[in-house]
Structure 1
Amino acid sequence: MSKNPTLNSMDRCSKEVLRMKAFCLLLILFISMLVVSCAAAAEIPSPTIPPATSTAPPVSTEEMISHKADRVMEALHDRDLDRLASLVHPTLGIRFSPYAFVREADITVTVEDVPNLLSQDTVLLWGVYDGSGAPIELTFEQYYDQFIYDQDFANAEEIGYNRRIGGEGGTINNIPDFYPGGMMVEYHFTGFNPDYGGLDWRSLRLVFMQDGGEWFLIGIVHDEWTT
């Protein structure tokens, strides 16, 4: 007996519907898994890249002071007081001391007056000569030639940072006590005439003070052997 054509057609339709349902279920399952996977990936934080850091070594205080001191010495060598003024402390000015022992009475000049010092012909009292006690009465230019740049300190034999390298003169070096927190750079010659056995040494000491993160010149101290 042959099967009913209508039933055969219904069977085929049922099977086709089942296949479509199965396909749809698989498709839904795949889409669901894809959505979950994307959501999980979105929750994974991206790696943090550290900011670039400079590999240059930090500049030491001694290096900063050395650079400043060299600029001061170049200005003194060139007798360029405009350049010197740019390195002087803006409010404290600069004190000039003829010998190692710094005194309150030593002449202090404001930064505004520094550029014109060499053109002034006024005779000032800078202290007394160590040994004789005679007054040091000089114009600034005369003082400059005797107690600031009396030797070519820009080409000194030795340079010391925050330490005395010169010999003992007739006065005590009180720079650390007079300028607490300051930094000193000494330019030194051991002597010039062998017959004097080093007693004709010379030193020029530059004193710097920090203000607002920058170092400024506040003192120029001359030193030599005296009797």
Structure 2
Amino acid sequence: MRSLFIAFAAVSLFVSCNQNKQSENDSGNKNILPKRTQKDSIEAVAVKALRALKEKDYKIFASFFHPVDGVRFSPYGFIDPTHKHVLAKDFLEAIDKNWTLTWGHFDGSGEAIKMKVRPYIERFIYNADYLNAPKKSYDAFIGQGNTINNLQESYPQLHYTEYYFKGFDEKYKGLDWTSLRFVFKKNGDAYYLVAVIHDQWTT
């Protein structure tokens, strides 16, 4: 009888130890987060940049500029090498000193886009609430107008995001669509902006 009791106790102890070990393993597994993908990393930076633009915190926005290459700003879908290209420090200095910069040329008239940074941002970057855009994409285009979109030719091998509004007034039948694209390049272990592209229907 005593032998039977000892055997039963040994089995109970073995089962209890296994259950505790399994419980520890389960608890440990819960703390293992899924590995962040390249897409996750880029989209996370994009959201932070959009939030900074919405809040008009341009110092934070500039912190996402590529530290070596800086950022090229394009007022329309076609990216021209002459479009404004700046490093973060120059961007912030231009805001601080209220400089007027030449960003490109207006669609239609061809006149030079000479604007201070803040008005340019309001007209050609955050002209809509892109942080809450109804359509978003990664490495895919949404807005399609009559301007040549040469993003992939200008930045081959790089990844991009797009934020899109199909329009705001029905009388324009979608011709008032607008979108914002971010192009990213890796530096070290992080991704940074190298291009900020506004797009819309052009004449």
**Selected match of 1:199 from 175, 181, 203:** 175
Q: CA deviation at 1:221?
A: 0.3
1:115 aligned counterpart, secondary structure: helix
Equivalent AA in structure 1 for residue 188 of structure 2: G
- Deviation string 1:73-108 (CA, Å, 9 cap, x unpaired) is 001111111111221111111111101111211111
Matched, 1:106 2:86: no
TM-score (norm: length of structure 1): 0.72
1:113 aligned counterpart, secondary structure: helix
Aligned-residue Cα RMSD (Å) equals 1.8
**Aligned counterparts, 1:37-116, within 5 A:** 55-116=32-93
CA distance in 1, matches of 2:133, 2:97: 28
Q: Percent of aligned positions with the same letter in both sequences?
A: 37
- Deviation string 1:45-88 (CA, Å, 9 cap, x unpaired) is xxxxxxx9985332111111110100000011111111112211
Higher relative contact order, chain-length normalized (CA < 8 Å, sep 6+):
2
Aligned equivalent of 1:133: 110
- Deviation string 1:160-195 (CA, Å, 9 cap, x unpaired) is 111111122x32111111112211110100000011
Aligned equivalent of 1:210: 186
Unmatched 5+ stretches in structure 1? 1-51
Aligned equivalent of 1:29: none
> 1:167·1:201 contact (CA, 8 Å) conserved in 2?
no
The structure with more radius of gyration: 1
TM-score (norm: length of structure 2): 0.80
Unmatched 5+ stretches in structure 2? 1-27
